[in-house]
Structure 1
């Protein structure tokens, strides 16, 4: 029997038939732009003089796309775009909301500053072996993780930036780099396996991996499905990615081994993706299960922040000190997740922004100090204040920022989290945050005092080696670029807090997020 070829299929039941608005392409631009430019750099890999300029153009365009997308999201609410014209949940959705776009914006800003510093830190050989393509690929994965609305796609973007980060870790092929990369790879593989296992179990339970769809169906399945088990698996997986205690041992074993600009990029961005995933999955998708685990998360947060900074006190290498400071900051962000209130979540988000800026700046500061002093050891460096007063001022401000003291960025998120802890009846958690601030002041104050204030026994400032001139010049420019938002957050925090509160509101009440993906499920 011949088929009826005159009857048109109704594609509207399965596919999106309307053309995509031009403005909606902004949703995927933060991922597409770095991928395109990374591919271009691979085609001109031998023309290393092109790489830095092309990468900076790519980051400038990505930064502009993120800024435009954030402005639109704040004005209109969450936005969604589904790939391949399939209707969700069958098509993979990208969803832009204040949390994902804000973190993507700050991440690209940090990467752009690192790209400038890399002009002095990465030589011709490193560029030929793919530093800038790896960097762009990593940032495409980072932005994809922040913007995807699908849990399996979140896993895919984790793998994208992890593969790129392996390349950056081993760039140079030194023994210590290979050793650090091996530890980084093996322990991240464990976290990735847990993540994939939890994702498979979630798909078997819900029949979907779309986050908005999971959020909509969770209430119906809560009495019959093992959602607490799912939440616990995701907590373990993402806590390892975030370097939370007791799953944090991979970070201090690896972050001190690569080039300092790579360590700055990792220290500023990568652990925050684990924290972001915890916010997205535990708070937005499995809030009742998060509440069941809140005491566990709170104790993990306190142990991470206190033991992390105690580890920093025991180190003499600045890179190792900063690795433990990164871990301690993860604990402070976990405190906001443990509280689960809108105020606590907003504090954790503001702290994430602060940490991305401040930790990157601290690593770059260590790179400049090594350039002018020839060492990362606090036992060797001394007397830097006499020859480098501007560097001394930058260092002092960054110590204040990391410690949570005015006038820098660390003050307000800690104030928000302490207030939220007291309001939630958890004064011990507020005490842990304050104690961590004191210990951070001691740890970084010790580094500052020994390297800048300690006399080297001479009457004149020690001369920096001639090869340090590019590092010093680009280091000052990079630090100044990061100090501007660090001071802005410290002196005028309202815009940052407003964005964080908008992001927290979506996590607590994801109606707008679900409505962006499934408009028909939200009643007018």
Structure 2
């Protein structure tokens, strides 16, 4: 059991080391990366199977009792996040293997990818605020190196924006962690939850938590500090931008959900602020997408708008709303990564990312048109795909809570999302290519990428058709979030000091 608890860290770490040792053989590096990401997926699914029964796994590194040791915790939410991380990582490796014609880039990409996955999984399973900071640093180091991979002035300029804003958020997080420890004497999340619930913390501790949530909001690309995301994500190599689109902002969302439900579950002011931030994020993000003319810039702004839905569930904080937020996380990671993969392949076939310079893909590659339509319609919330149920649950939760403005904004965002997806469909797939049919390329070696995007599209359909079991799991995860005593007991074992 303990081996399974640490497997989300050990598997990508071991894969990273093996990839470094095999650097002289690009083909071996790719094979090791593929096996490592498949192993992480298997471990994540095994954890989901355990967590589905209601068991919360908790362990302490080195045998130190909580709250003094390094705590790892896996409940229903963290288990499913690890599983989806493995799935997206596996898809990313397949797409990278299909697209990579640069042996040096592939040699660097795979160890950096697994270093990033170590940080992402660590953030999902840590039970300690300081170690959450450490895992954020690990994933940021990997992301900084990945986003600039391949060089180029345009890519470097986007990287500067990405690095500066994320470093600002990281420094805020570190400052907040120091203030919180000074005020409470602990950074163990379970013990902090006990202290906050009992009212045994000074006002300084609440100020520290507020600052920490601002830092997480920047990392999640919430309004008003979201500009770094659409300025950088579209510039990275396609497998990297897809990985970022699927996972990185969700680490910030996960941290917000975890800390708010543990430390501020009944804070009316915090939830009211989050509600308005969620509405602004949804609306501004989707309007920004409507104004763009490049495929991945459109999709980047949609990351912003869709994050707003997840925060809406956290802001409402009802059992149904929290379940909707968990469902939305599961759905969105798969859909958004897939859209970036497809957008990259479409750009490769047409020779451009600007919609005006694209076209003819429906006739040239009908399989790609079908694979684009599935996640695009899901993102817009068209039934019976996964996005419909995720939006439906959150809109219903908003109406049940009499949050009429939030429900209206969520519905309008869905309509504008459909219009944006229709624009990509019309310009890239339906209209003829400006250069004529001969301008479209035939690219060899895309079979692994097709396997990946087909599998992700099938997952989107499956989540929609099996929405009942998925919603049952999301509701059970929401129950654990809404009643954190089980989390506290699993970590501390005995009543907190």
Query: Which bracket does the TM-score occupy, shorter chain normalised?
Result: over 0.9
What is the root-mean-square deviation of aligned Cα atoms in Å? 1.6
Q: Secondary structure at the match of 1:410?
A: helix
Question: Which residue of the other structure, out of 130, 143, 147, is the alignment partner of 2:121?
Answer: 143
Given the alignment of the two structures, is residue 465 of structure 1 paired with residue 457 of structure 2, yes or no?
A: no
**Cross-structure match for 2:415:** 438
C-alpha change, 1:433 and 1:160, in structure 2 (3 Å) is same
Trace 1:78-477 onto structure 2 (pairs within 5 A).
Answer: 78-122=56-100, 123-128=102-107, 130-221=108-199, 224-289=202-267, 291-456=268-433, 462=438, 464-466=440-442, 468-471=443-446, 473-477=447-451
Check conservation: 1:138, 1:165, Cα contact below 8 A: yes
**Greater C-alpha Rg:** 1
SS at match of 1:521: coil
Shift of 1:222: 5.4
Please state how far the C-alpha of 1:219 moved relative to its aligned partner: 2.4
Q: Is the 8 A contact 1:142 1:273 kept in 2?
A: yes
Distance in structure 2 (CA, Å) of the matches to 1:340 and 1:229:
21
Q: Residue 220 of structure 1: CA displacement?
A: 2.8
CA distance in 2, matches of 1:357, 1:448: 20
Which residue of structure 1 lines up, in the alignment, with residue 460 of structure 2? 486
Deviations 1:153-212 (A, max 9, x none): 001000101100111111111111211111111110110111111111111121111111
SS of residue in 2 equivalent to 1:520:
coil
The answer on whether the counterparts of 1:400 and 1:407 sit within 8 Å (CA) in structure 2 is no
Q: Distance in 2 between matches of 1:242 and 1:72?
A: 28
Deviation at 1:405, TM superposition (A): 0.7
User: How far apart, CA to CA, are the structure 1 residues paired with 2:237 and 2:201?
Assistant: 51
Count how many residue pairs are aligned between Structure 1 and Structure 2.
495
Moved over 4 A (4+): 460-464
Q: What is the match of residue 52 of structure 2?
A: 74
Judge conservation of contact 1:386–1:461 (CA < 8 Å) in 2. no
Instruction: Name the CA distance, whole Å, in 1 between partners of 2:182 and 2:18.
Output: 40
Structure 1: 5+ residue stretches without partners: 1-22
8 Å contact from structure 2 (residues 377, 418) kept in 1: yes
1:353 Cα deviation from its structure 2 partner: 1.1
2:42 aligns with one of 64, 69, 83: 64
Residue 478 of structure 1: CA displacement? 1.5
SS at match of 1:226: helix
Tell me the TM-score normalized by structure 2: 0.97
Distance across 2 between alignment mates of 1:363 and 1:462: 25
* Partners of 1:346 and 1:497 within 8 A in 2: yes
Say whether 1:518 aligns with 2:495. Answer: no
Residue in structure 1 matched with residue 21 of structure 2 by the alignment: 43
- In the TM superposition, residue 453 of structure 1 has moved relative to its aligned partner by 1.1
SS in structure 2 of the partner of residue 94 of structure 1 = strand
Secondary structure of the residue aligned to 2:38 is helix
What stretches of structure 2 of length at least 5 have no aligned partner? none
Deviation by residue 1:208-245 (Cα, 9 ceiling, x = unmatched): 11111111111233574334423321221110000001
Are the equivalent residues in 2 in contact too, given 1:387–1:462 (CA < 8 A)?
A: no
The answer to whether the 8 A contact 2:245-2:337 is kept is yes
